[in-house]
Structure 1
Amino acid sequence: MSKTITAVDLKSALHDGGEIALLDVREHGQFGEAHLFYATPLPYSRLELDIHRLVPRKAIRVVVYDSGDAESESVATRAALRLEALGYVNVMILEGGTRAWAQAGYKLFAGVNLPSKTFGELVEHAYHTPRISAQELARKQAAGEPLAVFDGRPTAEFRKMNIPGAVCCPNGELAYRIKDLVPDDTTPIVINCAGRTRSIIGAQTLINLGIPNPVYALENGTQGWYLADLPLQHGRSERYGDETGSTALLAQARALAERFDVPYVTAQTVRNWEGDATRTLFLCDVRTPEEFQAGSLPGAQHTPGGQLIQAIDQYVGVRGARLVIFDNDGVRAPVVASWLRQMGHDANVLIDGLSSGLALQAQVESDLPTLAPITVAQLKRRMEQDDVAVVDIRAGMQYRKAHIPGARWSIRPRLASDLRHENREIVLVADELAVAQLAATELDRAVLVLEGGMAAWQAAGHAVVSTPDRPSDEECIDYLFFVHDRHDGNKEAARQYLAWETGLVAQLDASERGNFSLPATYS
């Protein structure tokens, strides 16, 4: 039986200075409705796929939790057993889950990327980051005034919607590319994102570097633009050129690292840290996806600089871990590390970065069961004979859009319950084989997996059906309507999201706020 921990003891453990991994093992939608401030989202449906990357040291304190109510699928208990089977030796379950946490008088938070989002609001308060409204920016553009507008999000997000005239330049790239993109020191620069955080962080990054240009954050990003009834563009791909990149701001980046006490460490120091059984180590490559794919340091994970600040809980699952940040230019890593230090993380810059010769041991992935495949033709024939049950375990919203006629939807936490009365042979449909392999471990019988998934079914020309209301919103525990509806033309959802974002700071208690290390005033 796994150990348990009370809400009161967990609250103390989160602030005792030791390393701890707090894992919310519910699905994405459940997590986003109400979770603990420092929780890392690790859905049970992907537990074994992501645990080694997020929590590489198996001796660390690990606390898992679920909702703790009568409707819960008890995924915390099941997750704890899985983790112990993988060799994690200090796993605890939060007694009563989120229900007990709230009953103890502690705050539950909605949304995602809470520490990073809250940090963005604190940055604006601490630095008084200049901002420009959507209406004012549109007026300046219409008047033909000199302006450079950069979208601080990754390319995929930029394509979904963007401000007219904007160029994609993710925040982690700004210090490295801004001098090539805006050679004139008098041109005003505006940074935007979909909401607030990356607009603020991007603009303040350039200000902290001391560039002479006037710099502004677009107030409320693309959502503010949309709420002002201004048109957004979709499908564009304009971004910084691959040839851009300059060490012109190298001295400023180093000065920024010194200002925020960012240590520079040698490869040998990091090798010594790797042998320290009492601390967790993350090696973070903050360059672009293309650069990472072309080659990185052994043992590194790709953590694009802007996204590492924006969503650190997607890359680092250990509170109090050592982070080693590197690039190949000496500009990007110290800038990113300066923000991580202010967020309260033990961030360090690797001297000589990509050329340092550092090589760490890669994380070992979990062994997954082998599933027998079934071809599209075989499945079609057996469905006509009605001797198989087709279960689609892709995302609930993907199932709504298109699925195999007669297929039911399920998800790993509920799979055994959903199929308890099913006597036919099971065929799983998944986009990712590993997700199907994990789901199959919930069943006490052999299952098949559709070879090539839905793509193969559709490529064969077979019919699909859509069910816009099935699974129901309540059943779609993997989808967070709170976040996504704001991008689907729902102005009220956008207003609610912005109100949530600006209201985060007021929800913090003293210990949560005290974890951040922002300057009291900006000078």
Structure 2
Amino acid sequence: MVKVEPGREMGMKNIVPDDLNVLRESGGQWALFDVREPAEADAGHILGACTLPRRMIELRIGDLVADRDTPIVLYDDGASGRALYAGRTLESLGYRDLRILAGGTASWLESGRRLMTGSNVPGKLFGERVHEAKQVPYISPGTLKAWQEEGKDHIVCDIRTPSEYEEARVPGAYGAFGVDLALLADDLKKQNRPVVVHCAGRTRSIIACQSLRELGLPEVYALENGTMGWRLAGFELEKGPARGVMSPTQQSRASGRELASAKAALAGAGVVEAAQLAQWLAARAAKKMNLYMYDVRQVDEYVSGHIPGAIALPGGLAIQRADDFMPIRQAPVVFVDDGGGRAYLTAFWFREMGWRNVHVLLDGTAGWAAAGQPLEAGRVRSAPLGFEQACAQASKISPEALAELSPQPLVVHVDTSRSYEEARVPGSIWIPYGWLEGRIQKHAASLDAPVVLVCRSGTHSMYAAANLKRLGYRAVQALEGGTDAWRRHHRAEQGWPADVARERDLVVPPYHSSLADMDQYLKWEVRLSAAIADAIAAGSA
């Protein structure tokens, strides 16, 4: 039994680190959320936690945890109270089994356990273990550069996303994105020349290289450390027009489906028919079942027609970022494509990662439509939860009305530091959404003080205004339409003001950082497997 200490709120329980380990070993469905800002989680988090900053709870929780009776554990730094406020939000949204890790990360460390640095650690750890166990071949940037200069016959495939490929790539690379390789494998094999795959760093190219090996390619290499390794070797990335995106032949598509489906079946992945999936989706909509359904095709294909309720998550990203999108490892996960091999290849890798309840929709969207089920077009996102209630609790103010107020009220930007720096109402201060209740009194000591909250779109600020209303503030409003609306008719300030303290809330991807940061990141990733093995052996993970 989990030992429960007296809770601080009705419906919420305090637990200690040992209780969390009991949940880990239970085999049941549960979720662990780090409700701090992404940069805080990146600096040190509990292994396996899903980062869900407070400003994203209402926007994402319905997709992450549909069943309101699922045990949810929340934690923060142990001193800021953010886990408690997050629990209140979840309670208002109908979640009934909420547990707060007493003392947060501080108590975790005090119990002799370790925090893990970095983001998407489970996926990256898996990549390193595949690299070690399968002896995945790699090629150094220097060797690839020599091949190019010597005119050695080979092909380079950029397996990142289309947008990354368009921005910059290893010179001469074709676009062959993520699990699209399942469709291209037979075509690549018939070219009878070495294939080099690259991503930005390590994980995606390791998985891509091994995928092609699993699909029968005899000579394929992962570019060591990807585009970051290329730049660290002193070479320039190619920008501007690219060589082009590879398109599979029908024969290669068919071969990829056959091979990938066999791999998935051998690994233990299941196949679900449209009628069964429709029942599962109905149970999820009724908030009685946790279910993850991801369309692993490229986004443009998803936009052209997808199953209602499916989320676009191209397969290569799904493998690396599973902790961001599927916090309940025991919940069923269904991968969808157009009936080809991409969903099967993704399912194969999830089974290899240890996921137990993995399925592929039989014949994909084509099978779904053939069963008389509807498809929808566009990039559809789930509606945020509790927004109508927030609007009922707090009022809005238009940009025109705010511009005419004199004297100006306290204007607080509650969005990210990037949003504040890009565009803000003149004279506004910055308090990150998650910290608002704990810091507002420094600037508005009276509950009658007029306060206007601002974000980019007007959504986060409305939720934040409702939070302050519940705290007792009587004259709080949210800027209607956010800074997007403000900028259409009024001047917005840009840059970071000298008199506002700056703290790190967001994580800058290493491939958009300095060469020194790239080098440090890659060394961290290479050491990841050994570091976590040591922590597990010591019982401190």
Matched, 1:42 2:52: yes
CA distance in 2, matches of 1:189, 1:14: 41
Name 1:380's counterpart in structure 2: 403
Name 2:365's counterpart in structure 1: 354
| Paired letter, 1:479 | L
Alpha-carbon displacement from aligned partner over 1:76-133 (angstroms, at most 9, x marks no partner): 1111122122121111111221111122222211111111010000010111110011
Matches within 5 A, 1:386-465: 386-420=407-441, 421-422=443-444, 425-444=450-469, 445-460=474-489, 462=491, 464-465=493-494
Of the structure 1 ranges 84-93 and 429-438, higher mean CA displacement relative to structure 2 is found in: 429-438
Q: Is the 8 A contact 1:400 1:471 kept in 2?
A: no
CA distance in 2, matches of 1:469, 1:491: 27
Name 1:366's counterpart in structure 2: 385
| Paired letter, 1:416 | E
| Paired letter, 2:39 | G
Cα shift at 1:203: 1.0
Structure 2 unmatched runs, 5+: 1-8, 375-380
User: For residues 352 and 343 of structure 1, do their structure 2 counterparts lie closer, same or farther at Cα, with a shift above 3 Å needed?
Assistant: same
Cα shift at 1:308: 0.6
Q: Is the 8 A contact 2:339 2:367 kept in 1?
A: no
Cα shift at 1:234: 4.3
Matched, 1:284 2:291: no
Superposition RMSD on alpha carbons, in Å? 2.9
CA distance in 2, matches of 1:77, 1:463: 34
Q: Which protein is richer in helix relative to its size?
A: 2
Q: Answer 1 or 2: higher relative contact order, Cα 8 Å, separation at least 6.
A: 1
Name 1:210's counterpart in structure 2: 216
CA distance in 1, matches of 2:54, 2:333: 26
3-state SS of 2:209 partner: helix
| Paired letter, 1:501 | E
Alpha-carbon displacement from aligned partner over 1:320-368 (angstroms, at most 9, x marks no partner): 11111121133111100000001111211121221333769x9774121
CA distance in 1, matches of 2:49, 2:382: 22
Residue number among 186, 202, 214 corresponding to 1:196 in the alignment: 202
Cα shift at 1:237: 6.2
Cα shift at 1:56: 1.1
User: For residues 85 and 137 of structure 1, do their structure 2 counterparts lie closer, same or farther at Cα, with a shift above 3 Å needed?
Assistant: same
Q: Is the 8 A contact 1:169 1:239 kept in 2?
A: no
Cα shift at 1:160: 4.4
Give TM-score scaled by structure 1 length. 0.88
Alpha-carbon displacement from aligned partner over 1:396-437 (angstroms, at most 9, x marks no partner): 033234434312112212223443243653333322332122
Q: Is the 8 A contact 2:158 2:177 kept in 1?
A: yes
User: For residues 479 and 329 of structure 1, do their structure 2 counterparts lie closer, same or farther at Cα, with a shift above 3 Å needed?
Assistant: same
Name 2:99's counterpart in structure 1: 92
CA distance in 2, matches of 1:50, 1:468: 31
| Paired letter, 1:253 | A
Structure 1 unmatched runs, 5+: 514-523
Name 1:231's counterpart in structure 2: 236
Residue number among 86, 94, 105 corresponding to 2:112 in the alignment: 105
Name 1:494's counterpart in structure 2: 518
Give TM-score scaled by structure 2 length. 0.85
Cα shift at 1:279: 5.7
Cα shift at 1:472: 4.2
Matched, 1:264 2:247: no
Cα shift at 1:206: 0.8
CA distance in 2, matches of 1:103, 1:243: 55
Of the structure 1 ranges 463-472 and 160-169, higher mean CA displacement relative to structure 2 is found in: 463-472
Name 2:532's counterpart in structure 1: 508
Of the structure 1 ranges 410-419 and 193-202, higher mean CA displacement relative to structure 2 is found in: 410-419
Cα shift at 1:33: 0.9
| Paired letter, 1:309 | I
Name 1:516's counterpart in structure 2: none
Name 1:221's counterpart in structure 2: 226
Residue number among 491, 497, 509 corresponding to 1:484 in the alignment: 509
CA distance in 1, matches of 2:348, 2:220: 19
Same amino acid, percent of matched pairs: 34
User: For residues 209 and 243 of structure 1, do their structure 2 counterparts lie closer, same or farther at Cα, with a shift above 3 Å needed?
Assistant: closer
Matches within 5 A, 1:131-280: 131-179=138-186, 182=188, 184-212=190-218, 214-234=219-239, 239-240=244-245, 246-271=253-278, 273=280, 275=283, 280=290
3-state SS of 2:509 partner: helix
CA distance in 2, matches of 1:486, 1:260: 33
User: For residues 144 and 375 of structure 1, do their structure 2 counterparts lie closer, same or farther at Cα, with a shift above 3 Å needed?
Assistant: farther
Cα shift at 1:24: 0.7
3-state SS of 2:462 partner: helix
User: For residues 472 and 502 of structure 1, do their structure 2 counterparts lie closer, same or farther at Cα, with a shift above 3 Å needed?
Assistant: farther
CA distance in 2, matches of 1:235, 1:54: 38
Alpha-carbon displacement from aligned partner over 1:183-237 (angstroms, at most 9, x marks no partner): 743122111111110110111111111134x211010111111111111234666
CA distance in 1, matches of 2:83, 2:66: 19
3-state SS of 1:129 partner: coil
